[in-house]
Amino acid sequence: MKASKYNFFYEFPEDMEKLIAYNARTNALALIEKENYIKYQNFVDKSIAIDDEKLIEDLKKGQFLIDDELDELELLKYNMLSSKFDTRHLGLTIAPTMNCNFDCIYCYEKNERQNVTMPKDVQDKIVEFVKQQTKYVESINIGWYGGEPLLAFDVVKDISERVMDICKEKDIMYSSFIVTNGYKLNKEIAEELKKLNMEFMQITLDGPEDIHNKRRPLKGGQGTFRKILENMSELVDILPDISLRINVDKENVERVDEILEELDKFGLKNKVYAYLGYVEPINDCYSTGKCLTMKEYSNIDFEFSDKLKKLGFVENNISGYPNLKTNFCGADKTNSLVIDPNGDIYKCWSDIGMVEYKVGNIMDNISVNTDKYMKYILYDSTQDNECMNCKMLPICMGGCPRRRIDGKVDRCSSYKYVLKEYLEKTAIIKKEELRKNKTVEA
């Protein structure tokens, strides 16, 4: 019996006789009496046997204590490889156009935009590719991206309907989502999206009206803030699962909270999931000096999450509790592809439109950039000298693949800076829930 290498212990602010115990590999969270923690620590540091069978049983349950022969790093590697090369699920991110009606100040696609809509032959080839994959997959998920995908809504509708028919015929689970600026998202389109089984959508606002309109105006310079909020108010009952991303950097960080007041005014307080988005200078399209460091962003993100709860807003993750990762995202997963209007294939949607990151084309299925593809797919965080001994590894798995490939210094998960705060928040919430349940039962 030995201690897991992924154990964390923090003081519990609501009871100084207890500690928060967290294991990053199993995601187990518990409160442990200080006297029991001392027994655990004596076992780890001094090999003094724990004379409490119940304590041993509890510590093993969360895998704070594990069998001597268990190699946790090998287990993480197995789970990572199983996920990376899992062919049961197909994920496609499709950009039906790279054109956009907005002129956002930080857009990393500005230099790559083409006023082109995906032609019919590329649409047909995507549908043909999906049909071929149905021999092997159990589920298919399509994400619509751009540019602004609603500028090519006929393409979204055509491909979606045909893929849905194929999935129905083959008894394959189908799901989809859309990332849109929300400007053209009227009630009529919302009704159509519902028929296309759009499970959720992401819309972006960058703060109150004056801030947002400077950062995300129409190409002609006109404001977009009020139109987006009016659209959301009309469609939220039709498509209830809306994530509201609020991009944050040094230019607007002092005023992002004001958007919460606007959401309340428009009747959206508990109908959208607001969260912060990290702005970074992808493709050198935005000044590095305007961007927050990951440490700065992590702390701001925690404070914003805390404010949401205090003001009664719903959150995607009510406490910001960590999620276990096997691989990091679709970019380092074999059965996940990004396809642009020309049929060019990429691994990360930050790469879209950049020829040097292209790994193939749907029209010929020929890999043209094997080196770039392999840098995404074959990376192994369990063998990375910067990661393999890190206790955060199970909830990070090496961080953003694109940042790693670009040689960015800080590619780590934000939990590197605020794990303690999120665990404290969760432990307090869970303790209160238990107290309420006991009160109800009594």
pLDDT in tens, 156-189: 999 999 999 999 999 999 999 999 999 999 999 9
The closest alpha carbon to 207, from 271, 261, 255, belongs to: 255
What is the side-by-side strand order in the sheet with 89-94?
272-278, 242-248, 198-205, 173-179, 139-144, 89-94, 336-339, 344-346, 360-361
pLDDT digits over 337-363, tens only? 999 999 999 999 989 888 888 999 999
| pLDDT-wise least confident of 95-99, 149-153, 283-287, 327-331 | 283-287
Lookup result for tokens 């049929």: 343
What are the Cα distances from residue 200, in Å, to 185, 234, 241, 317?
13, 16, 5, 15
CA 402 to chain centre: 14
Q: Phi and psi for 177 in degrees, rounded to 5?
A: -150, 170
| Three-class DSSP category at 341 | coil
Q: Does the structure show a pLDDT above 80 at 55?
A: yes
Is 296:307 a contact under the CB 8 Å cutoff?
no
| pLDDT-wise least confident of 18-27, 186-195, 239-248, 426-435 | 426-435
Beta bridge partners of 273: 243
Beta bridge partners of 2: 66
CA 411, 413, 414, 416 torsion-angle sign? negative
Euclidean distance between CA atoms 152 and 98, whole angstroms = 9
- Report residue 308's pLDDT band, with 50, 70 and 90 as the boundaries: confident
Quote the tokens at residue 146.
């751009």
**Which residue type does 336 have?**
S
Q: What is the reported pLDDT for 439?
A: 59
Lookup result for tokens 């009529």: 188
pLDDT digits over 135-159, tens only? 999 999 999 999 999 999 999 999 9
| pLDDT-wise least confident of 9-18, 65-74, 429-438 | 429-438
Euclidean distance between CA atoms 404 and 140, whole angstroms = 28
Euclidean distance between CA atoms 339 and 310, whole angstroms = 41
The mean pLDDT value of the chain amounts to: 91
Neighbours of 49 (CB within 10 A): 10
- Cis check for the bond before 353: say yes or no (omega within 30 of 0): no
Euclidean distance between CA atoms 420 and 425, whole angstroms = 9
Euclidean distance between CA atoms 252 and 212, whole angstroms = 9
Q: What is the reported pLDDT for 111?
A: 57
Euclidean distance between CA atoms 129 and 379, whole angstroms = 26
Neighbours of 136 (CB within 10 A): 11
Euclidean distance between CA atoms 63 and 290, whole angstroms = 43
Task: Identify the structural domains of the chain with CATH numbers, from first to last.
Answer: 1-70 (no CATH), 72-442 (3.20.20.70)
Is 268:311 a contact under the CB 8 Å cutoff?
no
Q: What is the reported pLDDT for 316?
A: 60
Is 109:143 a contact under the CB 8 Å cutoff?
no
Euclidean distance between CA atoms 40 and 227, whole angstroms = 58
- Report residue 388's pLDDT band, with 50, 70 and 90 as the boundaries: very high
Q: Does the structure show a pLDDT above 60 at 317?
A: no
Is 79:385 a contact under the CB 8 Å cutoff?
no
Euclidean distance between CA atoms 43 and 1, whole angstroms = 10
The closest alpha carbon to 307, from 268, 272, 275, 271, belongs to: 275
Bin 150: left if φ > 0, else alpha if -120 < ψ < 50, else beta.
Answer: alpha
Is 268:217 a contact under the CB 8 Å cutoff?
no
Average pLDDT score over residue span 317-340:
88
- Report residue 303's pLDDT band, with 50, 70 and 90 as the boundaries: very high
- The secondary structure of 176-212 as a DSSP string is EEEE--STT--HHHHHHHHHTTEEEEEEEE-SSHHHH
| Three-class DSSP category at 225 | helix
Q: Does the structure show a pLDDT above 80 at 295?
A: yes
Parallel, antiparallel or unpaired: strands 242-248 and 198-205: parallel
Distance spanning both ends of the chain, measured CA to CA: 39
Percentage of residues of the chain with pLDDT beyond 70:
93
Neighbours of 189 (CB within 10 A): 19
Neighbours of 173 (CB within 10 A): 11
Average pLDDT score over residue span 297-308:
91
Neighbours of 340 (CB within 10 A): 30
Burial zone of 308 (CB within 10 Å; 0-12 exposed, 13-18 middle, 19+ buried): buried
